[in-house]
Structure 1
């Protein structure tokens, strides 16, 4: 059963994401205190029922659970370093985007100050918070994750990755890396067909089901990479995967070849090292050992 203290949450940082997190808390009946450097950012949330703190210190002291959704790791220190004493004995849930190293450093800082620390990587845009498809990855204090899971689940499906505070950030950024490279591939394809009078939306209608079907190959690639044997039968070889024709057509269409050229370089490096008969999954070795 939640205590009165457990029903109080403070949110520091009211950008689009911080505001979405705070709004979800208010809708669920939590006594929510918010703070932002630009105080006017709190006006819409106050109209919903939040309490606006005059200072970050006031916000910290108002709740046992403090959520930081700030610009970056440096801003977390800038705001919270002077408040380490006030944070002692409280739980800090940091969903600010940081590198794994920054998350681990913040966890060490928190431990030294007697602050319970949980790091989060938000796999959603603000409009998705509290909606199906939103998920947030966590690492750090298992006790904090279990104790406040009801709060965490308000924002999206919550998953715990272990006591290494950097793991949530690592997974978050790795998944985003996959997404952005995929998006760049779509943009390249759209640019290729544009000179032929094909709209980007028309191309999207064909690309979406195709790319969705191709993601079914991830598990097989993963098994090959984990097994370390790139000569498994049934794979498309690196030699067969030569992308010269795509690069040539892109150039003929008058567009940049940077996106597809990057993939070709990863392939060619392994061919040059004598692995041309092996499968496409081997390009991960080019990524692991760049140069």
Structure 2
């Protein structure tokens, strides 16, 4: 066993994801201590070589870093705020789902108790942990990331986003926005095509081709957003808005839900009314950046 994999690590929280994290560390040969409120969830991990700590405090002491994967940030504070838990000198890697405000507040809370802190987000399902398909986003002090990069790499592709502890959570929800938007658009098209007898499996390859093509536009559109300049190199927003209007009309004509395209059409109409009709579609960033009514 080399120095990289001989450094002990603790995993606190053994839901399906926590079990996958601990399992990947054990598979990599990493000495792994685990803790969970329901101890039976550790049975297989213990059989595979993990050490089950009797308390959270003992679990924290056992590793050079403690990976947290619990229900929410409230649970993090409850578990680590107990009187018998000493955080001084430890590194907390919090992979619990939450928002950026909670992440920043927890980073401050941990520092006040003498701990180093990295916040993170898991962009994966349990089955992909420990593989190149498992993406582990992290944010916080870079030296702390570098000190534990080898451990994080055993869980998947470890991606460092920056010093701001809230960045991992922000990237997480931004990624979910992409995922749900693509899926919702596909469901909209599928619902419409089914009225003509086209099943989802027949439509899916065409939809996939469209999604890949649109993804190729993103770097160029990103340059426009970052410059704050939106020349109509492909089509004007007015042209795009007319096409969205056709989508609304078609959806209503075939009797399927048109709420989603109506929402986007309303945003486009506001941008056009504000004088952006002759610019390219990414100018809608101004609408997305505006607080909702």
How far off its partner does 1:47 sit? 2.3
User: Is 1:14–1:35's contact at 8 Å kept on the other side of the alignment?
Assistant: yes
In structure 2, stretches of 5+ residues that fail to align are none
For the aligned residue pairs, the C-alpha RMSD in angstroms reads: 1.8
Q: Cα deviations across residues 203-246 of structure 1 (Å, max 9, x unaligned)?
A: 1122112211211000111111111112x141311111121111
Specify the alignment match of 2:90 in structure 1.
Answer: 90
Q: Cα deviations across residues 27-59 of structure 1 (Å, max 9, x unaligned)?
A: 111111111222222122222221222322232
Specify the alignment match of 1:252 in structure 2.
Answer: 253
Normalising by structure 1, we get a TM-score of 0.93
User: Is 1:35–1:52's contact at 8 Å kept on the other side of the alignment?
Assistant: yes
Q: Cα deviations across residues 59-91 of structure 1 (Å, max 9, x unaligned)?
A: 222222111011111111111111685221111
SS at match of 2:279: coil
Specify the alignment match of 1:236 in structure 2.
Answer: 235
Q: Does 2:250 correspond to 1:283?
A: no
Specify the alignment match of 1:143 in structure 2.
Answer: 143
Q: Cα deviations across residues 10-34 of structure 1 (Å, max 9, x unaligned)?
A: 1111112111110000011111111
Specify the alignment match of 2:3 in structure 1.
Answer: 2
Runs of 4+ in 1 over 6 A off after TM superposition: none
Q: Cα deviations across residues 181-221 of structure 1 (Å, max 9, x unaligned)?
A: 11111111111112222222221122112211211000111
Specify the alignment match of 2:168 in structure 1.
Answer: 168
Distance of 1:14 and 1:198 partners within structure 2: 43
Matched positions, count: 289
Distance of 2:269 and 2:263 partners within structure 1: 10
Q: Does 2:210 correspond to 1:210?
A: yes
Distance of 1:259 and 1:40 partners within structure 2: 45
Distance of 1:274 and 1:144 partners within structure 2: 48
Normalising by structure 2, we get a TM-score of 0.93
